[in-house]
Amino acid sequence: DQQVKQNSPSLSVQEGRISILNCDYTNSMFDYFLWYKKYPAEGPTFLISISSIKDKNEDGRFTVFLNKSAKHLSLHIVPSQPGDSAVYFCAASAQGGSEKLVFGKGTKLTVNP
């Protein structure tokens, strides 16, 4: 049973435009959410996180939005750059982030010049 779902395996956008990656979760105990970015042949690297006490967190070009009632979060990248091309994983944890991280299957983002 997939507790964290990323329903779009891939996304392609033009450089300079907005990239929106989506993630849904089913476990209502999750209260801490993270996005990771992964390049080929490397381990995932932490990108941005959000606690359930917030509905938005911003870090430079990256913004994560959380809709608790819909059990949905999204990552916005504005403006998108070719270097953003990677696989993006959504992850969730309970107990304020102190429990295990459960990952989605990832979305491959391609930003075209």
d(CA 35, CA 31): 14
Residue from the set 25, 104, 109, 111 that interacts with another protein by CB under 8 A: 104
Contacts of another protein in 15-54 (CB under 8 A): 31-32, 34, 36, 41-46, 49
The DSSP secondary structure of 57-108, one letter per residue, reads: EEETTEEEEEETTTTEEEEEESS--GGG-EEEEEEEEEGGGTS--EE---EE
> Which residue, 33 or 77, has its beta carbon nearer to another protein?
33
Q: Which stretch binds another protein (CB under 8 A): 10-18, 57-65, 74-82, 88-96?
A: 88-96
**Residue 99, interface with another protein (CB under 8 A)?**
yes
Nearer to another protein (CB atom), residue 42 or residue 113: 42
Supply the DSSP symbol for 19.
E
Is the Cβ–Cβ distance between 77 and 85 less than 8 Å?
A: no
Write out the residues near another protein by the rule CB under 8 A: 31-32, 34, 36, 41-46, 49, 89, 91, 93, 95-106
